């Protein structure tokens, strides 16, 4: 006699920085930072979110770059989120992932000419007023730098861990080091480093070339005693699919770039799983 079973995976909430408690419907907030722009942080955050979703997790993305939001374009999102009660907003969805961004609430060409307090208030409102579903992971795509947005995240939002994105070149790791040390100072555990644009493989001849240097991410990880979660390629498909609003993990899940993101997501999930669990009950309500 044959029996059928449904196997359910339950991802635990892990302890955030001291003084804050996780929100039950958003079990693990993961900050994705870089310290500088131009290293592919947003592209990495979006594709990591999709890779975690492919692994069976329930995932959301919060675009915390209020001055230059790019998550809506990368996920192919348009229109305005709905507000069922004129107080909270429903996240938009793409490829099985929930998303929220200031870019969904203003016109595409509208600049956000805000001082720091307005930007940080927008971040906390986007986090607290969004009607997130029952999420295992919420990836927060941070703006470049180590300023107001990052400090507000560390002080007011329960963060289970941070991921640092860098390219191999020294000029990028210099700023990535500052981002890593910032998270350490505010007691947010750094789960690891993702080295982006690590190698380019010619689509015609197969020659591999390290255009931005070699081993910078690995050296930084070794220096600070954190894992290297993955090395991602410099691949034309990543840029093309991101511009088209269909990230490579969704558009070409069996491609080499997608497999690299999947391996990094697996490593991220494994290292978070090794962190202490939160002491609050899962049934706690969303504040």
What are the extents of the domains in the chain? 26-273
The whole-number average pLDDT for the span 39-51 is 96
What is the per-residue pLDDT for 7?
39
Q: Tell me if 94 sits within 8 A of 247, measured CB to CB.
A: no
Nearest to 99 by CA among 118, 79, 121: 79
Q: C-alpha angle 126/132/136, rounded to 5°?
A: 115
Task: Say which residue the tokens 């994105």 belong to.
Answer: 165
Dihedral (Cα; 182, 36, 23, 61), 10-degree rounding = -170
Per-residue pLDDT tens digits for 154-167: 889 999 999 999 99
- Predicted local confidence at residue 6, as pLDDT: 43
Res 1: pLDDT? 47
Across all residues in the chain, what is the average pLDDT? Answer: 89
Residues written for the chain? 287
Extended strands (E) in the chain: 26-33, 59-63, 92-94, 97-101, 135-141, 161-166, 190-195, 200-201, 208-209, 228-231
pLDDT at residue 283 is higher than 70 = no
- Distance CA(212)–CA(200), nearest Å, equals 9
Is there a binding annotation on residue 39? Answer: yes
pLDDT at 5: 41
| 280 pLDDT more than 70 | no
Out of 20-29, 111-120, 137-146, 261-270, pick the least confident. Answer: 111-120
Instruction: Tell whether 60 is in a known binding site.
Output: no
Over residues 121-140, mean pLDDT? 94
231 is known to lie in a ligand binding site: no
Cβ 275 vs Cβ 161: under 8 Å: yes
User: Is position 41 annotated in a ligand binding site?
Assistant: yes
Are the C-beta atoms of residues 191 and 268 closer than 8 Å to each other? yes
CATH architecture of 26-273: 3-Layer(aba) Sandwich (3.40)
Q: Is the pLDDT of residue 8 over 50?
A: no
Cβ atoms of 195 and 228 closer than 8 Å: yes
For position 172, what pLDDT does the model report?
86
Give whole-number Cα distances, 267 to 52, 192, 199, 261, in Å: 10, 9, 20, 10
Read off the pLDDT of residues 81-110 as tens digits, 9 standing for 90 and up: 998 898 899 999 999 999 999 989 887 777
Confirm or deny that 37 is annotated as ligand binding: yes
Do the annotations mark residue 35 as ligand-binding? Answer: yes
């Amino acid at each position: 006699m044959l029996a059928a079973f449904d196997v359910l995976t339950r991802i635990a909430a892990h302890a955030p920085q001291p003084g804050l408690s996780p929100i039950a419907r958003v079990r693990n907030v993961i900050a994705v930072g870089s310290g500088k722009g131009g290293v592919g942080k947003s592209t990495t955050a979006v594709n990591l979110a999709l890779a975690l979703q492919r692994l069976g997790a329930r995932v959301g993305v919060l675009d915390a770059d209020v001055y230059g939001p790019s998550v809506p374009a990368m996920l192919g999102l348009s229109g305005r989120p709905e507000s069922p009660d004129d107080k909270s907003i429903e996240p938009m969805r793409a490829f099985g992932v929930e998303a929220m961004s200031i870019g969904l609430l203003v016109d595409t060409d509208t600049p956000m000419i805000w001082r720091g307090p307005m930007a940080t208030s927008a971040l906390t409102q986007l986090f607290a007023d969004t009607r997130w579903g029952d999420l295992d992971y919420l990836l927060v795509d941070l703006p470049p730098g180590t300023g107001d947005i990052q400090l507000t995240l560390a002080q007011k939002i329960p963060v289970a861990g941070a991921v640092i994105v860098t390219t191999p070149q020294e000029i990028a790791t210099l700023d990535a080091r500052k981002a890593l040390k910032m998270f350490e100072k505010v007691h947010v555990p750094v789960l690891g480093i993702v080295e982006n644009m690590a190698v380019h493989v010619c689509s015609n001849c197969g020659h591999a070339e390290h255009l931005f240097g070699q081993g910078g991410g690995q050296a930084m990880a070794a220096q600070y005693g954190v894992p290297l979660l993955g090395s991602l390629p410099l691949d034309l498909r990543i840029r093309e699919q991101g511009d088209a609003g269909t990230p490579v993990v969704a558009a070409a899940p069996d491609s080499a770039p997608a497999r690299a993101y999947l391996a990094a997501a697996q490593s991220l999930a494994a290292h978070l799983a090794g962190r202490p669990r939160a002491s609050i009950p899962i049934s706690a309500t969303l504040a």
